[in-house]
Structure 1
Amino acid sequence: MKRPTKEEISALPLYQGVALTDITIVETEQDAKRAFGILKQEVCVGFDTESKPIFQKGQVSPGPSLIQLATESQGFLFPTRFQAALAVAKLLLTDTTIQKIGFGLKDDKRELKSKLNIDIANTLDLSIKLKQMVGEKNSIGARAAVAMVLQQRLGKGAQKSNWGAYPLKESQILYAANDAHSALRTYKALELL
C-alpha cells in the first residue's frame, strides 16, 4: 500500500458514503435524543469537525461550528449553535466506551477543548496509524487514505466553505457527513487487512 499521486486519486471513482436521506442535522431536543440513542449503541464512530474558515492574518477561529459523527449507515451533524446538539455531542465525545475515529485529530481535539470545553476521549487518528503502517514520513490525510484503502476519491468541494453560516447547503451536509463516514469505513477496511 502506497500513497497515490494526485493524478491517481483523480482517476478513482467518487466516494459513495451516506446519502442525504441518511443524514440527521441535530437541532432540537428530539433530534438530540434520537441521535444519542443510536450513537450510544456504537463501539466506534467516524468523527470530524468543521470550523468557519479564517481568511485574514491575525483573525482567531471561533472554534468548531459543526461536529460530525457517523455510523456505517448514518451521519449525524451537530451544529454547535444549538444547545441540544452541543450537549449531546459533548456526552458522546467524552464517552470512553465509544471510539472516535478520524483524520488529523490533533487540531480538532485542541479546538474542542479550548473553545467548547470538550475533552474528547478514546480517539484513533488514522493519519498517524496509516503513516506508521506504510512507513511514510508525512501523515496521511483523509483524501489520500480513502484512495489508498478504499480505492475511491473523497470529494473535498465544500471543505473551504463558510461553516459558520446557517442553514447548511446540501453540498456541505454531504461533505461533512461523509468526511466522518469515510474515516469509519477506512478503519473497518484496515481491520480486514
Structure 2
Amino acid sequence: MKITRHIPREEIKALPLFAGLTLPQITLVRDDAMLAAATARLATEPVLGFDTESRPTFHKGQQPTGPHLVQLATADHAWLFPLGEGPMPPALAALLARRDLTLAGFDLSSDRAHLKNRFGVTDLQLLDIGKLFQCEDKRLTIGAVQAVAQLFGQYFRKSKKVSTSNWSLRALSEAQQLYAANDAWVAYRVWQVLQPAG
C-alpha cells in the first residue's frame, strides 16, 4: 500500500498535462461484428482498466438509469461499449463476469450497484485502485486525478462539461470518447505502475 501526501488541487493543476490515449487508440463498438472482435481480444487479458458512464440526473428524486456506457482498457488501447437504453449484449456480460478477469478502476461502488440494478450483472472481480493508496489524512480518498499526480507528477485534466454530458447516446462525440476511454486507461496505467517489480 502506497502511503502518500494528498496533493492540493491547485498544486496538481500546475503540473504538466498527462497525455492520454488519442482517438486512433480508441474503439467505439458500433455493431455485432465489432462486439465479437472486441470481446475476443479482451478475453486474453487478466486485468483491464474499467469504468462506466451514466446519463446524469438533474432533478431531485430522479433515479439513475445507467450505466449507459462501459469502458475497458489495456496498456495501449480502450474499447467503448455504448448500451443506450437497451439490454447489455450477452458477450459483454459474459466478459465482465469472468472469474479470472480483474476489472481495475476508481471508486467502483456505484458502478457495481448500477450494473447489478440495471442488468443483473453480479460477481464482478472489481479492484478499487484508490484503496491501494493510504493517504496521511484517512478521511480523504484517492481518485484518478490524485493518483496520476502522485505517480506521474502530471495533471490528468477532466472536463466537468463532458462528464455531465448525455452518455446514453450511441454516437458519442470525440470529446466523450476521449474522456471515457482515458478514465479506463488511467486506471490500467495506475494499476500497472503499482505492481511489484519483477
TM-score, length basis structure 2 = 0.89
| 1:156 positional shift | 1.2
Are 1:47 and 2:34 matched, yes or no? no
Query: What SS does the corresponding residue of 2:163 show, helix, strand or coil?
Result: coil
Stretches of structure 2 that go unaligned for 5 or more consecutive residues are: none
Q: One-letter code of the match for 2:112?
A: K
Query: What SS does the corresponding residue of 2:89 show, helix, strand or coil?
Result: helix
* Residues 64, 111 of structure 1: 8 Å contact kept: yes
Percent of residue pairs identical: 37
Equivalent residue, structure 2, for 1:153: 155
1:125 to 120, 123, 128: 128
1:87-140, CA deviations, whole angstroms, 9 ceiling, x for partnerless residues?
33211210111110000000000000001111152111012221x365632221
Query: What SS does the corresponding residue of 2:194 show, helix, strand or coil?
Result: helix
Q: How far apart, in 2, do the equivalents of 1:135 and 1:129 lie?
A: 14
Stretches of structure 1 that go unaligned for 5 or more consecutive residues are: none
Alpha-carbon RMSD across the aligned residues, in angstroms, is 1.9
* Residues 26, 77 of structure 2: 8 Å contact kept: yes
Q: One-letter code of the match for 2:169?
A: A
1:39-95, CA deviations, whole angstroms, 9 ceiling, x for partnerless residues?
111110100000000111011111101000000011000011387973332112101
* Residues 64, 112 of structure 1: 8 Å contact kept: yes
- Matched residue count: 192
Which structure shows the higher helix fraction? 1
> Where does 1:53-64 land on structure 2 (aligned, <5 Å)?
53-64=56-67
* Residues 82, 168 of structure 2: 8 Å contact kept: no
Are 1:71 and 2:74 matched, yes or no? yes
1:176 to 180, 188, 193: 180
Runs of 4+ in 1 over 4 A off after TM superposition: 82-85
Query: What SS does the corresponding residue of 1:95 show, helix, strand or coil?
Result: coil
Q: How far apart, in 2, do the equivalents of 1:120 and 1:18 lie?
A: 29
* Residues 46, 71 of structure 1: 8 Å contact kept: yes
* Residues 79, 86 of structure 1: 8 Å contact kept: no
1:188 to 180, 183, 192: 192
